[in-house]
Amino acid sequence: MLFKQPALLRQKLFVLGSLALGSLLYLVARVGSLERLQPICPVDSRAAPHTHEQIPLRTLQYKRGLLHELRRGNATKEQNLLHHLVQQLPRAIIIGVRKGGTRALLEMLNLHPAVVKASQEIHFFDNDKNYARGIDWYREKMPYSLPHQITIEKSPAYFITEEVPERIFKMNSSIKLLVIVREPTTRAISDYTQVLEGKERKNKTYHKFEKLAIDAGTCEVNTKYKAVRTSIYTKHLERWLKYFPVEQFHIVDGDRLITNPLPELQLVEKFLNLPSRISQYNLYFNATRGFYCLRFNIVFNKCLAGSKGRTHPEVDPSVVAKLRKFFHPFNQKFYQITGRTFNWP
C-alpha cells in the first residue's frame, strides 16, 4: 500500500524512517559490547524524571565495552595501554556481614563512575589455598579499571574469619573497610533461610530454626550455631580493631539500605572520599519485587537476583524474644565502639 501513497507522503515517511534508523544506529553504537545485565525491571510511578545533567551518570560508561573484552581476554595489550587500564588491588573491601546486604551495597556503589567492582566473591583472605597463591593471583582476579578509579570487592566471610584481619593489614594497612549490618535476629533468620532453601533444592531435610538457635539441654541461646554467632557483631569487630583503627571502618545500615538506600550510599561516598554522584534518579522502587533497582543511564537498568528478599519462615515469637534479649548487650557495645546507633529491639 505504501507505493500507492502520494509522493509527498512517501517522502515524509522516508525521512521519518531515516531518522528512526539513525537513532537506532546511535543506540547500537552507544551500547557496543557492554557486559550483559539482568533483565530490566519495570519502573513504577515513583521513578524520578531524568534530566540532561543526570544522563548518563557514568561518564566513563563508554569504557565498559572494552572492559568486557578485557575480562574475556579479547582485548590486545595495545588497547590496554592506550586506555591506561590496569588491574588494581582494592582500596576498599566490603568485609561483611553475611545476609546483611553485601551484594546490594556492592551493586549500588558500582553506580558511581569512580568505583569498579569485582563481580565475584574472591575469598582470597579467608581461604588458605587461595591465599597461598599470592597477591599477584589476587590482583589478577580484579577487574580492569582506570588509575583514578577505586576497586571494591566483597567477601562476607572475611568478617568472621580469624586470620583475615592480619592478612588484609599486611596487604594494605590503610585500606577502607565497609561492614553492612542488619538487626541481628532478622539477619540470623535470613541466614537460616538461605541454607534451608539450599537443602530443599537438594531434597534434603533440615532442622527448624528454633531447634538450631536454642540449646535443647539448657533452653538458652545456642552460640555454637553459626547463624547466631555471626550476629554477635561486636565480638568479630573487636578482633579487627587489633589491626585497624575504628576510623577505617564504616558501618552501613542494611535495613535502611532496603527501605531508603540513597542516604546510606551518600554516607559511603563521603567515607571513601568520593564526590557525590549517586542520585535518586539512579534508584527506583520496583513494586513487584519490593526492592529498589538500579538505573545506570537511559539505556541500562538492573535489579538484584531473584534469590534476594526470600520469604522467611515463621519463627516462634518466644524464640525471637529470647534472641533479641541475648543480642541486646552485644548491640549496645557495638553502638559504643562504632559511634552508630540502630533502632534494634
Which grid cell sits at 205? 531435610
Q: How far apart are CA 335 and CA 247, in angstroms?
A: 14
Retrieve residue 274's grid coordinates: 568520593
Residue of 99, 154, 176, 322 marked catalytic:
99
202 is catalytic: no
Distances (CA, A) of 140 to 69, 71, 143, 175: 15, 10, 8, 19
Residues flagged as binding site for 3'-phosphoadenylyl sulfate = 99-103, 182, 190, 292, 308-312
Nearest to 288 by CA among 309, 313, 314: 309
Closest CA to 277 of 136, 128, 149: 149
Residue 165 near residue 244 (C-beta atoms within 8 A): yes
CA angle 310, 99, 157 (to 5 degrees): 140
Q: Rounded to whole angstroms, how far apart are CA atoms 61 and 79?
A: 17
Binding-site members are 99-103, 182, 190, 292, 308-312
Give the cell for residue 79.
588497547
Cite the active site residues.
Answer: 99
